[in-house]
Amino acid sequence: MNCVACGSTNLIEGKILDESGGTKLSFKPLEISMWKAVFGIGVGEVSAFACFHCGYLHLNVNFSDEDKHRYLEFEGQQPDLLKRIESDS
């Protein structure tokens, strides 16, 4: 992994601390309801990498395989409804 700001490969992995409640920091997509997030559905843990050279902070979300499959299924331009109906028959 290279720093997107300066290109250095000297990155240090760390965690962003949430000192407000002691729980781990996570990412919740806007489309996921708060109730689902409470039970961990559709929520990804956040990991962080800091560049030793320039100090740029990289944040990554660790999605589950199920979430990746669900979101990548709809990546790119979707065919219009009529073409989908014609291909199903």
Token pair, residue 2, equals 């290279």
In a domain, 81, yes or no: no
Domain region containing 52: 11-76
In a domain, 3, yes or no: no
Residue 86, domain member (yes or no): no
Q: How many domains does the chain have?
A: 1
Question: What average pLDDT does the segment 10-27 reach?
Answer: 70
Q: Is residue 62 part of a domain?
A: yes
Q: Is residue 4 part of a domain?
A: no
Asked if residue 22 belongs to a domain, the reply is: yes
Q: 1 lies in a domain?
A: no
In this structure, are strands 57-62 and 26-27 parallel, antiparallel, or unpaired?
Answer: unpaired
pLDDT tens per residue across span 61-78: 888 888 777 767 666 666
What pTM value is reported for the model? 0.56
H or E stretch including 11? strand 11-14
- Residue 6: inside a domain, yes or no? no
- Residue 38 pLDDT > 70: yes
